Structure 1
Amino acid sequence: MTPVEPPVEPRLSWYARPAARAWTTAPAPVGVRAFHAALPEYAPTPLTELPSLAAELGVGRVFVKDESARLGLPAFKALGASWAVHRVLAGRADDERVELVTATDGNHGRAVARVARRLGHGAHVFVSGGVHPGAAAAIEGEGARVTRVDGDYDEVVRLAAAAAREPGTVLVQDTAWPGYEEVPRLIVEGYSTLFAEVDEQVAAAGAGTPDLVAVPVGVGSLAQAAVTHYRSRPAGRRPAALLAVEPTAAAPGLASLTEGAPVTVPTAETTMAGLNCGTLSSLAWPCLRDGLDAATAVTDAQSAAAARDLAALGVSAGPCGAASLAGARAALTGQGAAARRATLGADETATVVLLSTEGAAANPYSAA
């Protein structure tokens, strides 16, 4: 009988910056959480403890921040879109109607379309070629005009920015470039509500403060919000280690951190469609460079396995959301894990938070 070869483990891509937790920055502005709390759909999303994952990862406690139902949508993006649109449109006449324009790999575009519909504005959403037709249809279902582009995310962003030069339009993009940073900054501020909830929920569970937070990364805006929150040092909060997780098919963060300068990378198809970005936000880059403890990249297969395991434990996670667990597994287990765990301060007593940024319903790709 021919022996069966064991599966080959993918080579781990890894970057670490041991000095990251000594770096500090200014906190997000006050008022964001109160704005969200006043929205009729607002409720803190669940923080689910999963002891079996803590045992697997060799840490004290593991919590998953479940963003599968945020402000009526199956992903976290509405936090940033709602706050940014609120601030951008402040001071305009109530009867002044605009068209909100954006590019998307899925969830951000739907969030912008939902906010536009709720406020009585129009929306024009450009979607990249890798976006599943079901995700595009969901955006159209919010009343948006959808333009499909046969190109990658960077190309879609360029086309949306060009369209937003027309009178009566406002570009609501979650990535920044030189000369376009105000709205992306507001979107990052909007995400601060998520991390405020995490801290309150971890403390309420008797786990103190997070020791390690794993964050999926596309253009880097959510990771920027994580860095801003956990490096701003309010009284009584220890600096958490921050792990960025990207798809191997699109990992500009890992490439940029390794190079020490922003790098645009070619992208390939991935089930982690919402993370399929080749260029980091220019606003996010300095924060990620200085404030991230580590970065890694995971395969579609690793993400799919994580999504299946989370589903079995009662957490709905799409491929992007499951990337956090896949990244934590890559970092904390396997060959060379002792050094990586030391970098992250992830010992047997550590409290780990995995950000599951989208539910399974947010991404029509199968996790199987």
Structure 2
Amino acid sequence: MSEIPSSLPASSWFTHPGARNWSCPPVRDDVPGFHASLPDYAPTPLTELPSLAAELNVGRVFVKDESSRLGLPAFKALGASWAVHRTLAERTERQGDGPPVTLVAATDGNHGRAVARVARRLGQRAHVFVPQGVHPTAVAAISAEQARVTEVAGHYDEAIRQAADAVASAPDAILVQDTAWPGYERIPAWIVEGYSTLFTEVDAQLAAANVELPDLVVVPAGVGSLAQAAVIHYRSRPADSVPAALLAVEPDTAAGVLASLTHQEPRTVPTGKTTMTGLNCGTPSALAWPYLRDGLDAAIAVTDAEGARAARDLAALGVSAGPCGAASLAGVRAALTGDDADDRRASLALGPASTLVLLSTEGAAANPQYLDHRS
């Protein structure tokens, strides 16, 4: 294994002691059944890695490996497929069968490709806006799904703005975005619902490993929609169950969730270059924010070097992970080791028998920039 960082700046860590006392309603229960009906559906692996448990001084560590999800190398297809299904079903109820629509999205790579794949399979069109810094191979993969691609000379938030403007001027276009703002919440909420299948799978896989509930779940955070799904899943459980702690991980160059939690209000941070391209988002989703504020136990920011080191170590253990997916390992390493680690462990209620679940949200193939760097 690679060397573990020995210290963590205070500005890179946030904790909320009351998060496990907060609760919320669950999502609807028909989402996993929808995904199971898709022809290329299969649960992704939950792989136990005893060497990581020994390194982190906990009982068991499992990695949820999203390197192959519905034919794509990241988890995003869960949200895109459910949201498009709901969107088109409601449109048909209102208008009946009609000509194809254009599904529009902004993306750092994986979400846009997922929307484009769903559009192609359903006979719809797709138009995807891509900010600067996304690798040409990732852009080509979106184009290969027969999507129109517009490359934006700006950051992710600017790509979202242009995508929304394009929909406003095209009556046959529908924005399918995984971040929300006032007045645009319905489709992002469906995307979050789609992610719930991932956690339903984790429940079943842990039960098969004789684990009722993990003690800590670690989630990479871009705009925060997957972290929102994690909060809803684990904060809507029966009151007599022992709640799981939830840790969000971001790049230190795009830590919008951490900044917002630190200031207790939504903040936009300037974003820089990062190999964690799928997490290079400066503004938390307005829909996710209340759930993150109230239901996350902690948030942490990690460097590109820490993410790359975690990806290499996961690869050596048989798990394909790009830096976004490996951010979970990088984050939990930073949280549970080094200066003040005992205090951080205590804030997460972790001990030597604890069970951890790390969400590896993308495979190495989802991040060509990382593959270039690695080679």
TM exceeding 0.5: yes
Matched, 1:264 2:268: yes
For 1:159-182, what per-residue CA distance to the aligned partner results, in whole angstroms no more than 9, with x for missing partners?
A: 000001211000000000000000
Matched, 1:19 2:23: no
Deviates more, 1:202-211 or 1:75-84: 202-211
For the residue of structure 2 that corresponds to 1:218, the secondary structure is coil
How much has 1:293 moved relative to structure 2?
0.2
Q: State which of 300, 307, 324 in structure 1 corresponds to 2:304.
A: 300
Cα distance in structure 2, aligned partners of 1:51 and 1:207: 15
Matched, 1:33 2:36: no
What letter matches 2:53 in structure 1? A
How much has 1:206 moved relative to structure 2?
1.3
Matched, 1:175 2:174: no
How much has 1:122 moved relative to structure 2?
0.3
Cα distance in structure 2, aligned partners of 1:234 and 1:90: 32
For the residue of structure 1 that corresponds to 2:368, the secondary structure is coil
Unaligned runs of at least 5 residues, structure 1: 1-5
Who is 1:290 aligned against? 294
For 1:318-366, what per-residue CA distance to the aligned partner results, in whole angstroms no more than 9, with x for missing partners?
A: 0100000000001111111001001111110100000000000001022
Who is 1:229 aligned against? 233
For 1:106-151, what per-residue CA distance to the aligned partner results, in whole angstroms no more than 9, with x for missing partners?
A: 0000000000000000000000001111100000011100000010
Contact 2:6 2:337 in 1 (8 A): no
What letter matches 2:107 in structure 1? T
Q: How does 1:121-136 map to 2 (within 5 A)?
A: 121-136=124-139
What is the aligned length? 363
Distance change (3 Å), C-alpha of 1:360 and 1:236: farther
How much has 1:235 moved relative to structure 2?
7.0
Unaligned runs of at least 5 residues, structure 2: none
Cα distance in structure 1, aligned partners of 2:88 and 2:61: 40
Contact 2:46 2:62 in 1 (8 A): yes
Who is 2:155 aligned against? 152
Cα distance in structure 2, aligned partners of 1:219 and 1:105: 11
Cα distance in structure 2, aligned partners of 1:72 and 1:219: 24
Cα distance in structure 2, aligned partners of 1:168 and 1:231: 38
Q: How does 1:112-123 map to 2 (within 5 A)?
A: 112-123=115-126
Q: TM-score, normalised by structure 2?
A: 0.95
Q: State which of 198, 202, 205 in structure 1 corresponds to 2:206.
A: 202
- Aligned CA-pair RMSD: 1.4
Q: TM-score, normalised by structure 1?
A: 0.96
What letter matches 2:258 in structure 1? L
What letter matches 1:216 in structure 2? P
Give % identity.
Answer: 71
Who is 2:194 aligned against? 190
Distance change (3 Å), C-alpha of 1:7 and 1:333: closer
For the residue of structure 1 that corresponds to 2:181, the secondary structure is coil
Q: Which consecutive aligned stretches of 4+ in structure 1 deviate over 2 angstroms post-superposition? A: 6-12, 93-96, 234-238
Who is 1:319 aligned against? 323
For the residue of structure 1 that corresponds to 2:324, the secondary structure is helix
Q: State which of 103, 106, 109 in structure 2 corresponds to 1:103.
A: 106
Matched, 1:51 2:50: yes
For the residue of structure 2 that corresponds to 1:159, the secondary structure is helix
Cα distance in structure 2, aligned partners of 1:330 and 1:60: 18
Cα distance in structure 1, aligned partners of 2:362 and 2:369: 12
For 1:75-126, what per-residue CA distance to the aligned partner results, in whole angstroms no more than 9, with x for missing partners?
A: 0000000000000110413443100000000000000000000000000000
Q: State which of 205, 216, 222 in structure 1 corresponds to 2:220.
A: 216
Distance change (3 Å), C-alpha of 1:63 and 1:274: same
